[in-house]
Amino acid sequence: MVKFYIAVIAGFAALLTTVHARSTDEFSDTEKAIIQSLSLQLLPVKPASHSNKFANDVRAQQLGAQLFFDKGLSANNEAACSTCHQPDKFFTDGLTISQDSQGRGRNTPTLIGSAWLRWFYWDGRKDSLWSQALSPIEALHELGSNRLAVVRYVAKHPDYQDKYEEIFGPLPDAILSDKLPENAGPFGNQQTRDNWDELPLDLKKRINNEFANIGKALAAYQRTLNYEWTRFDTFASELASGANEYSLDADEIAGLKLFIDDDKTQCLQCHNGPLFTNRGFHNVGTGILQGDNLDFGRMIGIQAVIRDEFNCLGIYSNADADDCSSLRFLNKSLDFSSSGAFKTPSLRSLAHTSPYFHDGRFSDLRDVIAFYNNPPKNVNHELQPMNLTNQEINHLLKFLSTISNP
């Protein structure tokens, strides 16, 4: 069993002026330890990004911020990374699913806290933030461009070229040559793919390397997006310091007790730690395993990340093989036990990141709780009914509001 420890925290100002007098005796030592384990105060420092040696380079962060909001990376100059990851929506887009011409896709997750994640996309098809940043650039229904066009755009941009070369070194003359086609890449329309196939292998590698660097700059910026202190974190600080007055009211505390009661709700099975996620993959019965628009989740994601040329073990990664343990020891068989499993999202900022689930099926958090309270029948999943009363559901919702800032 995971051993939790209590950190004594002092000096943090409460975010609300209203406090509620209560006794610390109402919490067991185990409950206090669990509550502390959920606090941002115990969030470890950002893990190193071994495959991206520019991850903490301030110059790369600044260039990445410019690229993140630049619609020039798209084929039609109408979309940017920020189109789907909007700062005023906590770096989501508020839509059920990311839109494309065929009405398919998945819900846009927040980028906040992504520096602590191990896998990216709902199915974990990418094993780094920088490799994830590359896919939307070439996805037809997102930015719809191609790697040669984007590399040349950055290389010839009056504000980007010097910044790029200061960070990553000189751009190869061969990439800047007017003899190359305007568009070339392994994805896109037939002409774009044919142009890519006709390029020499050595030139493809050079283009890929510069394309990877663009992803590494974007990731360097995205790693700066952090969660902020919430009312729950203030409460955890008060509890750890032995205060007799709390910033949470009785209903919110009742909801917290439900949340950490593993026998009652099992929330902690997936939503644990300071980011309220175990960063793993779970089947909650939302996969589409037959019929139209199949979505097998993690089972396909595993196969995709193994074959990804930009993964941790690839030639464009800055990591040593020993730094890629998550990928090296991944179960590479076509394991149907992962069918229908999707990544567990953080619950922080939950009030601002609806709709919920990988397919955005619920816009109201109450509907989410109702789903877990009475999970679907005759569907393979991991859930057990919680059998919460309406009052208990209200208490749980009250608590969840405390891990989102106003």
Residue 80 lies in a domain: yes
Contacts of residue 32, Cβ cutoff 8 Å, sequence gap at least 6: 6, 24, 239, 240
* pLDDT value, residue 335: 74
Q: Following DSSP, what letter does each residue of 92-113 receive, concatenated?
A: B--SSS---TTS--------TT
Percent of the chain at pLDDT exceeding 90: 85
Mean confidence (pLDDT) of the chain? 92
As given in the structure block, the two tokens for residue 139 are 């996805």
Query: What is the arithmetic mean of pLDDT over 14-31?
Result: 62
Residue 192 lies in a domain: yes
Range of the domain at 383: 20-46+232-279+347-403
Q: What is the CATH number of the domain that holds 359?
A: 1.10.760.10
Q: Same domain, yes or no, for 198 and 266?
A: no
Q: Same domain, yes or no, for 215 and 241?
A: no
Domain end among 222, 241, 262:
222
* pLDDT value, residue 104: 57
Q: Same domain, yes or no, for 175 and 266?
A: no
Domain count, the chain: 2
Instruction: Give yes or no for residue 1 having a pLDDT over 50.
Output: no
**When comparing pLDDT for 365 and 25, which is higher?**
365
pLDDT class of 406 with cuts at 50, 70, 90: confident
Query: What is the arithmetic mean of pLDDT over 57-81?
Result: 98
Instruction: Give yes or no for residue 51 having a pLDDT over 60.
Output: yes
Cis omega (within 30 of 0) on the bond before 170? no
Q: Same domain, yes or no, for 159 and 192?
A: yes
Do 226 and 218 contact (CB within 8 A), yes or no? no
Q: Same domain, yes or no, for 163 and 114?
A: yes
* pLDDT value, residue 24: 52
Phi, psi of 202 (to 5 degrees): -60, -40
Residue 297 lies in a domain: no
Q: Following DSSP, what letter does each residue of 318-338 receive, concatenated?
A: ---GGG-HHHHTS--S--GGG
Which of 6-10, 25-29, 109-113, 236-240 shows the lowest mean pLDDT across its residues? 6-10
Instruction: Give yes or no for residue 266 having a pLDDT over 70.
Output: yes
* pLDDT value, residue 105: 82
pLDDT class of 102 with cuts at 50, 70, 90: very low
Query: What is the arithmetic mean of pLDDT over 143-158?
Result: 97
Domain end among 199, 222, 245:
222
Q: Same domain, yes or no, for 264 and 384?
A: yes
Q: Same domain, yes or no, for 36 and 94?
A: no
Instruction: Give yes or no for residue 192 having a pLDDT over 50.
Output: yes
Separation between Cα atoms, residue 44 and residue 42, nearest integer Å: 6
Instruction: Give yes or no for residue 224 having a pLDDT over 50.
Output: yes
Instruction: Give yes or no for residue 281 having a pLDDT over 70.
Output: yes
Domain end among 188, 203, 222:
222
Q: Same domain, yes or no, for 218 and 238?
A: no
Q: Same domain, yes or no, for 363 and 391?
A: yes
* pLDDT value, residue 99: 62
Q: Same domain, yes or no, for 251 and 370?
A: yes
- Radius of gyration for the alpha carbons in the chain, expressed in angstroms and rounded: 23
Instruction: Give yes or no for residue 164 having a pLDDT over 50.
Output: yes
Q: Same domain, yes or no, for 242 and 129?
A: no
- Give the global pTM: 0.92
Q: Same domain, yes or no, for 135 and 258?
A: no
Query: What is the arithmetic mean of pLDDT over 43-62?
Result: 97
Residue 300 lies in a domain: no
Residue 30 lies in a domain: yes
Strand partners, 295: 288
